Amino acid sequence: MAGTSVIKYETRPLDSWQKCKELRLDHYKDIATARDRGMLLTSGAVDTGLIPTGIKDCRFMASEPYGASIAFDPTFAQLCEEAVEARGFARDFCGYMRNYMGSMYVDRWLFGGPFPRPDFCLTIHICDAHAKWYQIVGEFYDIPFFGIDLPMGHPDDGRGEERVEYAASNTWDAIEWLEKVSGKKYDDELFFEAIDYEVETMALWSEICILNQAVPAPLDQKSMWSLYVPAAIMKGRREVVEYYRTLRDEVQDRVDRGIAALATERFRLLFDGQPPWFFLQSFRIMEQYGAACVGSHYAFCLVGQYDVDEDSVWHASKPMKERGITLRSREEAVRFYAREELDKPFYASVYALPWRRFRDYLGLVKGWNAGGMVIHLNRGCEGLAQYQLETKLALDDAGVPTLTYEGNMADKREFDGAQVLDRLESFMENLGLNRLDT
C-alpha cells in the first residue's frame, strides 16, 4: 500500500567510505603479491590474524572475509562451490570455506591472478569447521598447518581461568611453531604493538556501534557490512586504528548533527547472522518502509569488544592504555590475547553455551531501541546459526517481533530471493508499517 512521503532527517554519504574501500583493495593486492616480494604468507580464521604479526614480513590472509568477497560475485562463487563439490565435499559446508577452497582448487584469485598459495596455515578453531578446513588446505598444498584450540564451555561456570590458560598455552605453542616453520625469530615487541593496535581498533569499532544507538541512526547495517572489514582482515595495524579513529569522529559528528543513514527512519530493526552477500538489496526493502536496520550481533562483535553488564547494557571496551595494561612478556601477551578472545561476546554468546546470549540479545534490542529482529537462518554457517531459534524463542517471550528466513550467506543456489522479499514485506506490514513514497 502506498503511503505518504516522510523525509524526517538529513542524510548524506559517509566521507570515510572511500578510504574503507581503498584499505580493503590495497590489502588484497598486498596479499596477492606478498610472496613475489619475498614475504611469507599464512592464512587462517579472522581472529588468528594477530598472532603472525610477530614474524617480520609475514602477511596473513583472513579466510572468511575472502569467502564473503567471493559471495558478492555469484558467478565466481558458483564456480568455486562446484569445484569443491566436484572433489566430493558436501554442499552444506560452510559457505565461506567452499568459496575459499574453490578459489584454491581452480587457482583463481577473485581480485585477479592465481590464488595466493600460503607458506603455512595457522588458525584458531572456534567452530567445527576451522581446523578441518585448514587440514584440507595444508594437505592440498603440502604445507604445515597448526590449529589453536579455543575451549568451549559455559561462560559463567567458574572454569574461565582454566580455559584462558588452555587457550594461552595453545597460542604459546603456535608462536613456537611459527618460528620453526618460518625460520624466523618471533619478535614479541611487534606482537605487543599489534595487540595494542588491535585492542584500540576493537574499542573504536565498539564505540562506533554504540553511537548507532542514536536516533536517527548515523549508520545502517548495510554499510556496516563493509565498514568492519578492514578490522577483520588487517589485524593489529596502525593504519587501521587511524581509519577507525576517523570513522568514529565522523559518526560522532553525524550523531551530534542528527545526520541519518536513513532519511525516513521511523522504525528500527536488528539483523541476526551474516547477510546473503549477493542479495544486500534485501536491506533496501526495510528502508522502503521507513525501517532502519541499525546493526547486528555479528557486525558489532566480529571485530568489537564489549562488556555487557547484568542489566544487559552494552559498554564499549577500552584501549589498553585506558585499562592501564602494558604487556611486558610473551607469557602476559598470550594470556591477554586468550582472555580477550574468550571474553568477546562473539565467543561467549555465540559459540559457548547460550545462557549469556539471551541476555546479550535482549540488551541489543533495548540499547539500540529496536522494534524487531530479522533472523537469517544461514545454511552457510552452522557456527553462527547455533541457537538462532532458541534466541528467537527468548525474543518472542520478551515480546520482540521476529522474522526468520532461510538462506545462505555465500551460495546463491540456496537462496530464494523472491520469497525473502515477500517475507520481509509481510513482516513490515505486520509491524504496522506501510511503504513510503520518498
Residues that bind another protein (CB under 8 A): 87-90, 92-94, 125, 127-129, 131-133, 135-136, 138-139, 145-147, 149, 151-154, 157, 159, 162-163, 165-166, 169-170, 173, 351, 353-354, 377, 379, 382-383, 385-390, 393, 406
| Closest to another protein by CB, 244 or 405 | 405
| CB of 297 vs another protein, minimal distance in Å | 17
The set of residues, in sequence order, having a beta carbon less than 8 Å from that of 161 and lying 6+ positions away, is: none
Q: What gap in Å lies between CA 374 and CA 388, rounded to an integer?
A: 11
Rounded Cα gap, residues 144 and 312, in angstroms: 43
Q: Shortest gap between Cβ of 162 and another protein (angstroms)?
A: 5
Q: Which residue(s) pair with 293 in the sheet?
A: 269
**Smaller CB distance to another protein: residue 239 or 390?**
390
Of the pair 233, 420, the CB lying nearest another protein is at 420
With H, G, I as helix, E, B as strand and everything else as coil, classify residue 294: strand
Residue 59: strand, helix, or coil: strand
111 or 166: CB nearest another protein: 166
Residues 6+ apart with CB under 8 A from 92: 379
Give least dist CB 144 to another protein, A.
8
End-to-end CA gap in the chain: 14
Q: How many CB atoms lie within 10 A of CB 307?
A: 13
DSSP tally for the chain: helices H, then strands E: 19, 10
Residue 23: CB minimum distance to another protein, A: 32
Cβ neighbours, 10 Å, residue 370: 22
CB of 94 to another protein, least distance (A): 8
CB closer to another protein, 32 vs 51? 51
CA dihedral 271, 272, 277, 281 (to 10 degrees): -20
Q: Which is nearer to another protein, 160 or 319 (CB)?
A: 160
Report the nearest approach of another protein to the CB of residue 223 (Å). 29
The verdict on whether omega for the bond into residue 345 sits within 30 degrees of 0, i.e. cis, is: no
Nearest CA-CA partner of 49 in 249, 228, 231: 231
Shortest distance (Å) from residue 323 CB to another protein? 27
Q: How far is the CB of 334 from another protein (least distance, A)?
A: 12
Name residue 307's beta-bridge partners. 315
The phi-psi region of residue 113 (left if phi > 0; otherwise alpha if psi is between -120 and 50; otherwise beta) is: left
**Min. distance of Cβ 379 from another protein in angstroms?**
5
Q: What minimum distance in Å lies between the beta carbon of 405 and another protein?
A: 11
CA distance 347 to 150: 9
d(CA 319, CA 204): 8
CA distances from 124 to 6, 45, 194, 350, 407 (A): 48, 6, 17, 15, 26
Partners of 101 in the beta sheet? none
Indicate the residue among 106 and 190 with the shorter CB distance to another protein. Answer: 106
Element (H, E) at 121: strand 120-125
Residue number with CB closer to another protein (31 or 94): 94
The three grid cell numbers given for residue 209, joined into one nine-digit string: 556501534
SS3 7: coil
Of 16 and 388, nearer to another protein (C-beta) is 388
Whose Cβ is closer to another protein: residue 27's or residue 392's?
392
